[in-house]
Amino acid sequence: MEERVLAKLLSGQNVAQLKLLFNAYERISGKNLAENIRTKFNGSLGAALATIVACIDDAKKYFAEELHNCMQGPGTDDKTLIRILVSRSEVDLKDIKELYLIQYGSNLADDVAADTSGDYRNLLLRIIEP
């Protein structure tokens, strides 16, 4: 599938139709569409398309994974951490925290506290646990 065709498909259907399409794709191919896009397309457009598919498919799962990934290894991807916590704080952060606990066996607030410090830590924890 060409990137242009996929981009047109993703922008021309509603979320319910796309979720049905993603489920049918996985049933027929045995592969997750977002993961398949990442392996077949290179560059930023492929990454963007895979991100769109992952968010449409299960936004809470996507954001839980991104939060986990941004705190892995040495250092923290602060831009990603801040972007997700702030943008989802009044939308579905509570659900993301619950899924994070289920997926990773640790509390999001505890992981953020372990990866940050000072006033920055306090501010992020106030967003997570108002």
pLDDT number for residue 1: 57
Euclidean distance between CA atoms 34 and 118, whole angstroms: 37
Short-list 80, 81, 77, 3, CA closest to 42: 3
Instruction: Sketch out the chain's domains with CATH numbers.
Output: 3-128 (1.10.220.10)
State the number of CA atoms in the 13 A half-sphere of 57 facing the CB.
Answer: 18
pLDDT at 104: 97
Q: pLDDT value at position 41? A: 83
Cα angle 4-39-10, degrees, rounded to a multiple of 5: 35
Residue 10 pLDDT:
84
pLDDT of residue 67: 97
| pLDDT, tens digit only, all 130 positions of the chain | 577 788 888 888 899 999 999 999 999 999 888 888 888 887 888 888 889 899 999 999 999 999 999 999 888 999 999 999 999 999 999 999 999 999 999 999 999 999 999 999 999 999 999 8
DSSP alpha helix (H) spans, the chain = 3-12, 15-29, 33-40, 43-70, 78-88, 93-104, 108-115, 118-128
DSSP state of 65: H
Residues 6+ apart with CB under 8 A from 34: 50, 51, 53, 54, 57
Rounded Cα–Cα distance for residues 93 and 31 (Å): 28
Looking up tokens 């994070």, which residue turns up? 100
Per-residue pLDDT at 34? 87
